[in-house]
């Protein structure tokens, strides 16, 4: 909810994590002009990511520009390098179709990526799942698609993202792949109000079969309910202020599910939440009406992604990757820490 121009978090404060701090001296800015950057940790030890509207690593907004590309991140948090795998400047392979993606994952050596439309303006129209058996060098459509005609009681969902579970999905809680996707409220590329986020799952060995997909249908004393009827889905997360793009990762050190979600305005407000289960109950770690604390509070940021590889100090320390508009229209990484209650 909002009052006097200020938005307030939809969930009560975390009992474990007081907030976040950032070491802005650690900030690295690469790939100017390219944005998004969801991350997955692959079987070969590297991280992989998708990017949009730029030339990727070594490129600019004009040089090597593609609608969508895939890149590989090699190295540790202090000394990493980025390489364009599919699309972008000097890419190992050319991009073969346009689009946008905020969801990429490696499971048992196989890559999967959600393609949301052909550009930001039509990201609401269709969500198509692609796969790659050569670590992102080539991509093929799996046949799994959710579009506006897939549902009769709503416009559906958009920009799905995967819940990350460590390297090659080896830290998964069970045999399912979990995905989060905001609900479409308006067919305009802007904040969706009120904000509702769906939770979707499929067996990891059936992820290319649409008939095996299930939707969260509410909770009960016996646990979550699931349905294959998408019209019976219920949000797993709700924010009256709105929602747009999301990211999700499991922190094995803290044994917490971490969710990031936009709110209030398209490129300004962000929330960071934690829960003991993928479906909640959620508690608020951080809720901003700008970006994040520090020198960059008023900069425009459109996506936050926690690295699933670069946890440290039993999960209390992290690396956050973000992109946005103006100076932040790039790959940006910054090291930070969760703050434990009772500590200054």
The series of mean pLDDT values per 10 residues for the chain, 344 residues long, is 69 95 93 97 98 97 97 96 98 97 98 91 91 98 93 92 98 97 90 95 98 93 90 96 95 97 78 96 89 56 94 97 89 95 58
Q: What is the pLDDT of residue 26?
A: 94
CA dist 327 and 181 (Å) reads 27
Q: What is the pLDDT of residue 344?
A: 44
Asked whether 86 and 76 are in contact (CB, 8 A), the reply is: no
Place of tokens 């509410």: 218
For residue 10, tell me if it sits in a domain: no
For residue 322, tell me if it sits in a domain: no
For residue 340, tell me if it sits in a domain: no
Q: What is the pLDDT of residue 279?
A: 97
Residue 337 burial by Cβ neighbours in a 10 Å radius (0-12, 13-18, 19+): middle
Asked whether 256 and 276 are in contact (CB, 8 A), the reply is: yes
> What pTM value is reported for the model?
0.95
Say if residue 326 is preceded by a cis peptide, omega within 30 of 0: no
137 Rama sector, left if φ>0, alpha if ψ -120 to 50, beta otherwise: alpha
For residue 128, tell me if it sits in a domain: yes
Q: How many helices (H) and strands (E) does the chain have?
A: 0, 24
How does DSSP classify residue 244? -
For residue 171, tell me if it sits in a domain: yes
For residue 334, tell me if it sits in a domain: no
Kindly give, in sequence order, each residue whose CB lies less than 8 Å from that of residue 9, ignoring residues fewer than 6 positions away: 271, 284, 287
Give the residue numbers spanning the domain of 168.
18-315
Q: What is the pLDDT of residue 293?
A: 47
Q: What is the pLDDT of residue 187?
A: 84
Q: What is the pLDDT of residue 343?
A: 53
For residue 277, tell me if it sits in a domain: yes
For residue 209, tell me if it sits in a domain: yes
Q: What is the pLDDT of residue 1?
A: 56
Which CATH number fits the domain that encloses residue 150? 2.115.10
Q: What is the pLDDT of residue 295?
A: 52
Of 58, 81, 80, nearest to 69 by C-alpha is 58
CA dist 72 and 56 (Å) reads 10
CA 178 from centre of chain: 12
CA dist 192 and 186 (Å) reads 7
Place of tokens 């030890």: 45
End-to-end Cα separation, the chain, in angstroms: 28
Instruction: Count how many domains the chain has.
Output: 1
């Amino acid at each position: 909810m909002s009052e006097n121009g200020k938005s307030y978090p939809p969930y009560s404060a975390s009992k474990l994590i007081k907030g976040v701090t950032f070491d802005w001296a650690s900030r690295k800015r690469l790939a100017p002009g390219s944005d998004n950057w969801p991350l997955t940790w692959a079987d070969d030890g590297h991280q992989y990511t998708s990017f949009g509207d730029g030339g990727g690593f070594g490129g600019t907004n004009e040089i090597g520009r593609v609608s969508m590309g895939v890149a590989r991140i090699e190295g540790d948090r202090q000394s990493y390098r980025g390489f364009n795998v599919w699309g972008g400047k000097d890419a190992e392979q050319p991009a073969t179709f346009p689009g946008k993606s905020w969801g990429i994952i490696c499971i048992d050596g196989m890559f999967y990526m959600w393609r949301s439309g052909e550009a930001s303006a039509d990201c609401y129209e269709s969500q198509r799942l692609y796969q790659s058996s050569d670590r992102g060098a080539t991509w093929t459509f799996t046949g799994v698609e959710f579009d506006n005609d897939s549902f009769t009681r709503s416009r559906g969902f958009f920009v799905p993202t995967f819940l990350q579970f460590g390297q090659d999905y080896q830290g998964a809680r069970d045999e399912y792949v979990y995905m989060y996707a905001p609900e479409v409220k308006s067919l305009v590329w802007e904040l969706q109000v009120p904000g509702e986020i769906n939770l979707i799952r499929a067996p990891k060995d059936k992820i290319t079969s649409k008939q095996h997909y299930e939707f969260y249908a509410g909770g009960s004393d016996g646990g979550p309910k699931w349905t294959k009827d998408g019209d019976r889905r219920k949000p797993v997360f709700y924010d009256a202020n709105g929602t747009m793009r999301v990211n999700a990762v499991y922190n094995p050190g803290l044994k917490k599910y971490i969710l990031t979600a936009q709110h209030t305005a398209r490129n300004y407000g962000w929330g960071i939440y934690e829960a003991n289960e993928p479906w909640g109950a959620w508690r608020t770690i951080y809720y901003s009406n700008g970006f994040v604390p520090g020198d960059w509070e008023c900069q425009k940021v459109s996506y936050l992604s926690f690295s699933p590889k670069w946890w440290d100090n039993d999960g209390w320390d992290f690396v956050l990757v973000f992109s946005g508009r103006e100076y932040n229209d790039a790959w940006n990484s910054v090291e930070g820490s969760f703050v434990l209650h009772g500590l200054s």
